[in-house]
Amino acid sequence: MRNRSRRTAPKKTLTLLARLCLLATIIAVCLLNATPPISRDALTHHLYIPKLWLQHGSFYEIPDIIFSYYPMLLDLLYTIPLALGNDIIPKYIHYCFALFTAWLIFDYLRNRLNRTWGLIGALFFLSLPIIVKLSITVYVDLGLIAFSTGALLMLFKWVDTKYIRYLLLAGIFCGLAASTKYNGLIIIFLLTLFTPLLFSRSNVGTKQHSSFQAIGYGVFFLLITLLTFSPWMIKNYILTGNPVYPLYNSIFQDLHSKNNSQPITTPENGSNRSAAIAKQLTSRTSGVFAERKALYHETWWQALLLPVRFFFEGQDDDPRYFDGKLNPFLLFLPFFAFFFFRYPRQVKIEIYFLFAFAWLSFFFAFFQGSLRIRYIAPSLPAFIILATYGLHNISTRLQFNDIKRTNLQHIAMAGILIPLFLYNGLYIAHQFNTIKPLSYITGKITRDAFIAQFLPEYPIQQFANKHLKKGDKILAIYLGNRGYYFDFPVRFDLTSYSKLFADTVISSQTGNEISNKLRKQGITHLFIRLDLFTQKANENLSIEKIHLVNSFLTKNTKQLAANKRYGLFELRGSLPLHSSNLQ
């Protein structure tokens, strides 16, 4: 009895510590979330498009913003608080999906191992740097993670219980994943493949084992998934003729050209940008490594080690270092899931499929898009579960009846768990130093001042919102499509999809001609990022065209407001406004 009590005491302590750390992590993220949105994708996409819908009074097609054709299940949820005048609540909505995923991980590990390991797995997930970063931004990746994890675990529950309702739920979850983000298409492919394989492996040697039955279940899963995803495919097919626009657009264009004498109308017809956009979005696989070699001068061995470097070198807001941060333990611990492998047969099958799902989804995303850590996010819960199995196996292998050697086990486990969670905790502390949410929460800094700290264009946007009149339209040059804080129509230019200003300058001989051509497009004002505009003009324009641009800005525009990086200019001929300098 005394030995048993000595063993349970550390377990109770570990359970208590895991609960306290889990609570502290949730509170910390909630505090970090209590600030206005400043993340790029929120301002270009996830809040901006719902805001445009609300301004319009309903959903409508926005051909100038390619993101508006993406699946937007979570963005629909964000319209509710936006309609009520609150743009902070969407952060908490997004975070709820992280909490749901943590609960899925906890519930799975609690049933397979015990409550303590379930808490450790949930804590590992919620405190992981990339998950923390996503949890404090208005993105949709946490929804994709939650739905894809739910789909995989429901498949496990289906083969374990034989209840068809869990296969139905798995298909619905998978369809919701694709309805959240196009990366969910990878999940559809993998889980449609996994469904018959899981059934076959779990029923080998039984009367239920049948290849036709296994394939039938896979078809059923795929049909439920596509039915759930179908509203977004139908919408895009009606608007563009491509159910997954802009992905694979050239394929669908070819199909329509064969079946119809008239070419199908797409949002970019006239400027013929759709093919270029689709090509850019879908033909990345061979160019990723070449691009990194050109930009960052990476050697062959650095390129070869890119999957490993994902776990070690990640840095926020730096594309060279994958625009995110993981935990190095996440690379090693999953392999220990196969160490001291003493589990029931069904659990062993699940571990093999978790391993396959983690690495297949990782590499599918790795080779299909830009190298961003959040693009491989659907694989993270599988890595977390495997890592927790690994920790459990190490702990089990180190168990001894001798008290002194048991103490060595506790020291060894502490040597793993403390640096693992300290690494995550230091990242959370860094976020507090970066964002400084308490200054905003306590009222020491205003909303406008807080946003201006991170978005130098914001004071100029606020000036424009106050002084421009109805009917005015801005051409925003090198603003990165960040339109959420504008209260009137904006056209973003000198991007991958629009070169209006450059084309106008090249085709014009005088400043008056530039001004007249822009006015014919409805443009009344220019919003320019000055440093980048100057740099790109010097790099790409001839001396004569540089003089032309300078003459145009001097004689045909009036500066209304400016700070060190951004300026607002009015095309001559509009009603004059008082000039202002904003810092």
Tokens found for residue 520: 């014919």
Q: What are phi and psi of 581, to 5 degrees?
A: -105, 130
Q: How far apart are CA 453 and CA 15, in angstroms?
A: 40
Residue 386 is predicted with a pLDDT of 97
Least confident of 252-266, 371-385, 445-459: 252-266
CB 115 within 8 A of CB 155: no
Asked if residue 31 has pLDDT above 90, the reply is yes
Cβ atoms within 10 Å of 195's Cβ, excluding its own: 28
- Binning pLDDT at 50, 70 and 90, where does residue 497 land? low
Q: What is the pLDDT of residues 401-413, one digit of tens each?
A: 555 566 677 788 8
**Arithmetic mean of pLDDT, 554-573:** 90
- Whole-Å CA distances, 514 to 509, 533, 568: 8, 16, 17
Place of tokens 């508006």: 68
CA dihedral 203, 208, 209, 210 (to 10 degrees): -150
- Binning pLDDT at 50, 70 and 90, where does residue 459 land? very high
User: Which candidate, 409, 515, 526, 512, places its Cα nearest to that of 460?
Assistant: 526
3-state secondary structure (DSSP) of residue 162? coil
Residue 209 is predicted with a pLDDT of 62
CB 452 within 8 A of CB 154: no
Identify any residues that bridge with 477 across adjacent strands, giving them in sequence order. Answer: 493, 528
Asked if residue 574 has pLDDT above 80, the reply is no
Asked if residue 373 has pLDDT above 80, the reply is yes
Identify any residues that bridge with 474 across adjacent strands, giving them in sequence order. Answer: 490, 525
Place of tokens 């904003």: 582
Greatest Cα pair distance, the chain, in angstroms, is 94
**Arithmetic mean of pLDDT, 130-149:** 96
Q: How far apart are CA 17 and CA 425, in angstroms?
A: 14
Q: How far is CA 216 from the centre of its chain?
A: 33
Residue 67 is predicted with a pLDDT of 87
136/211: higher pLDDT = 136
Asked if residue 576 has pLDDT above 70, the reply is no
Domain map (residue ranges) of the chain: 33-248+285-434, 455-581
Q: How far apart are CA 475 and CA 172, in angstroms?
A: 42
Beta-carbon-side half-sphere exposure of residue 304 (alpha carbons within 13 Å): 3
548/300: higher pLDDT = 548
Residue 248 is predicted with a pLDDT of 81
Residue 272 is predicted with a pLDDT of 45
CB 361 within 8 A of CB 186: yes
- Binning pLDDT at 50, 70 and 90, where does residue 439 land? very high
Residue 278 is predicted with a pLDDT of 37
Phi-psi region of 445 (alpha: psi -120 to 50; beta: other; left: phi over 0): beta
**Arithmetic mean of pLDDT, 194-209:** 79
Residue 280 is predicted with a pLDDT of 40
Residue 64 is predicted with a pLDDT of 81
**Arithmetic mean of pLDDT, 218-243:** 94
Asked if residue 6 has pLDDT above 70, the reply is no
Which residues are CB-neighbours of 106 under 8 A, at least 6 positions away?
118, 119, 121, 122
**Arithmetic mean of pLDDT, 221-234:** 96
Identify any residues that bridge with 252 across adjacent strands, giving them in sequence order. Answer: none
Asked if residue 524 has pLDDT above 50, the reply is yes
Q: How far apart are CA 213 and CA 198, in angstroms?
A: 12
The continuous run of DSSP H or E covering 404 comes out as helix 403-435
- Binning pLDDT at 50, 70 and 90, where does residue 87 land? very high
User: Which candidate, 37, 69, 71, places its Cα nearest to that of 140?
Assistant: 71
Asked if residue 216 has pLDDT above 90, the reply is yes
Pairing label, strands 566-571, 557-562:
antiparallel
Which residues are CB-neighbours of 537 under 8 A, at least 6 positions away?
545, 546, 549
The average confidence (pLDDT) of the chain is: 87
CB 94 within 8 A of CB 135: yes
**Arithmetic mean of pLDDT, 385-397:** 92
3-state secondary structure (DSSP) of residue 106? helix
Q: How far apart are CA 20 and CA 109, in angstroms?
A: 19
Residue 475 is predicted with a pLDDT of 93
388/572: higher pLDDT = 388
Identify any residues that bridge with 557 across adjacent strands, giving them in sequence order. Answer: 571
**Arithmetic mean of pLDDT, 387-416:** 79
User: Which candidate, 138, 225, 245, places its Cα nearest to that of 179?
Assistant: 225
CB 420 within 8 A of CB 410: no
Residue 405 is predicted with a pLDDT of 60
Please give the order of strands across the beta sheet that includes 490-493: 490-493, 474-477, 525-529, 566-571, 557-562, 580-581
Amino acid at 33: N
Asked if residue 183 has pLDDT above 50, the reply is yes
3-state secondary structure (DSSP) of residue 97? helix
Q: How far apart are CA 147 and CA 181, in angstroms?
A: 11
Question: Prior bond to 246 cis, omega within 30?
Answer: yes
Highest mean pLDDT out of 12-21, 203-212, 285-294, 383-392 = 383-392
**Arithmetic mean of pLDDT, 188-194:** 96
Residue 400 is predicted with a pLDDT of 58
Residue 277 is predicted with a pLDDT of 38
Percentages (nearest 5) of helix, strand, coil residues in the chain: 70, 5, 25
Q: What is the pLDDT of residues 256-286, one digit of tens each?
A: 666 655 545 555 554 444 344 334 433 444 4
Highest mean pLDDT out of 130-144, 208-222, 536-550 = 130-144
Asked if residue 1 has pLDDT above 50, the reply is no
CATH code for the domain defined by 455-581: 3.40.50
Percent of the chain with pLDDT over 90: 61
